[in-house]
Amino acid sequence: MITLIQLEYIVAVDTYRHFATAAEKCFVTQPTLSMQVKKLEEHFDLKIFDRTKQPVVPTLAGQKIIDQARKVLQESARIEQIIQEEKNDLTGDLRIGVIPTISPYLLPLFTGKLKKESPNLHLVVNEIVTEEIIRQLKMDLIDVGILVTPINENGINELPLYYEEMLIYSNKNHRFANNTSIKIKDIAASDIWLLNDGHCFRHQVVNLCNLHELKESDLPFEFEGGSLDTLIKIIDKEGGFTLIPELAAIEMGEDKKHQIQKFSKIVPLREVSLVYTRKYEKAKLLQLMADTIIATIPKSLLDKERGTIVEWR
């Protein structure tokens, strides 16, 4: 007889590709986990994992079984969630993945309010890049992601939240400071700082400003990082400019406002959304989270029609 515990174990081994790590994550000993996986393999009379490879990988038949096991476990979890929703009892873990160019500006706005409205809810937040959010959603390692859309990813739902303008931030002595007529073509310059590859905001800037062919650089060094706050501090010290999202600009002090400029003939926007799998079993929690975010951000950011959405993917 197949048990849910056995299905949880094979999913864990597939997720972590290591029996010892899977056992640790499932809070059991490795012999216990290995024994249950072996029993399941004996029940099916086939191998689920190829143990001769490191890291361990599923066999072709094993991958099909694991994919189905994930669906069974999701549907099983849905039963418990239905009961909690009927009791209006929003409890348990809500595992959130959020990209680095959103997290420092959005999380402080809504997490406290969300926790206050649902004190029995345990928020677990990971700051990770978009591709990792997508991977972890599909592996059921997180429940929901906050990232820039559209991503048009198979099996992922997108729930748009707000639209923030892409603005120019420059050193106080830069030619852009106090300049009110900056055009898109002006940004293709050798003193622009960018986040490292893998960040959607970098790709948005590259697409918006057509920086694909930009090869020359007047920067004092190459920056390989994912923190906009670090980039801003470098610009203040070393010169140059970059693009920043609107929420980052809103929280800056008055002494830096003159270093922030808009484009003169376009309002480029990035769409920020909640993303989740189609089998999402925490629908009420997701809606509460979306409503809380929308209620805490500046109302102007809810207007999609004020500009043009810049795609990145």
Beta bridge partners of 93: 122
pLDDT tens, N- to C-terminus, the chain (313 residues): 899 999 999 999 999 999 999 999 999 999 999 999 999 999 999 999 999 988 999 999 999 999 999 888 877 877 766 766 665 656 678 899 999 999 999 999 999 999 888 888 889 999 999 999 999 998 888 999 999 999 989 889 999 999 999 999 999 999 998 888 899 888 888 888 888 766 778 778 777 776 655 556 777 777 767 788 999 999 999 999 999 999 999 988 888 888 999 999 899 999 999 999 866 557 778 888 999 999 999 999 999 999 999 888 7
Given the structure tokens 């997108």, which residue do they identify? 158
Given the structure tokens 């070393």, which residue do they identify? 238
Residues 92, 27 share a domain: no
Q: Which pair of tokens denotes residue 242?
A: 């970059």
Residues 279, 213 share a domain: no
Measured between alpha carbons, how far is residue 132 from residues 137, 142, 169 in Å?
8, 10, 28
Per-residue pLDDT at 277: 87
Q: Which pair of tokens denotes residue 275?
A: 């993303």
Packed helices 4-16 and 30-44: angle between N→C axes, nearest 10 degrees:
110
Q: Which of 281, 6, 19 is nearest to 140 (CA)?
A: 281
Residues 131, 102 share a domain: yes
Residues 277, 156 share a domain: yes
- Domain span at residue 128 reads 88-162+270-309
Residues 156, 277 share a domain: yes
In three-state form (DSSP H/G/I as H, E/B as E, the rest C), the secondary structure along the chain is: CCCHHHHHHHHHHHHHCCHHHHHHHCCCCHHHHHHHHHHHHHHHCCCCEECCCCCCEECHHHHHHHHHHHHHHHHHHHHHHHHHHHCCCCCEEEEEEECCCCHHHHHHHHHHHHHHHCCCEEEEEEECCHHHHHHHHHCCCCCEEEEEECCCCCCEEEEEEEEEEEEEEECCCCCCCCCCCECHHHHCCCCECCCCCCCHHHHHHHHHHCCCCCCCCCCCCCCCCCCHHHHHHHHHHHCCEEEEEHHHHHCCCHHHHHHEECECCCCEEEEEEEEEECCCCCHHHHHHHHHHHHHHCCHHHHCHHHCEECCCC
Residues 219, 155 share a domain: no
Q: Which of 85, 109, 138 is the last residue of a domain?
A: 85
Instruction: Report how far residue 218's alpha carbon sits from residue 199's, in angstroms, rounded to the nearest whole number.
Output: 22
Per-residue pLDDT at 223: 76
Beta bridge partners of 308: 268
Residues 259, 183 share a domain: yes
CATH number at residue 277: 3.40.190.10
Measured between alpha carbons, how far is residue 110 from residues 61, 138, 251, 290, 291 in Å?
44, 25, 15, 10, 10
Per-residue pLDDT at 205: 79
Does the pTM surpass 0.85? The reply is: no
Residues 248, 191 share a domain: yes
Q: Which of 23, 51, 85 is the last residue of a domain?
A: 85
Residues 50, 94 share a domain: no
Per-residue pLDDT at 94: 87
Q: Which pair of tokens denotes residue 212?
A: 């694909």
Q: Which of 85, 102, 135 is the last residue of a domain?
A: 85
Residues 140, 172 share a domain: no
Per-residue pLDDT at 220: 75
CATH number at residue 8: 1.10.10.10
**Which one-letter amino acid corresponds to residue 128?**
I
Region class of 273: left (phi > 0), else alpha (psi between -120 and 50), else beta? beta
Residues 202, 112 share a domain: no
Total domain count, the chain = 3
Residues 134, 153 share a domain: yes
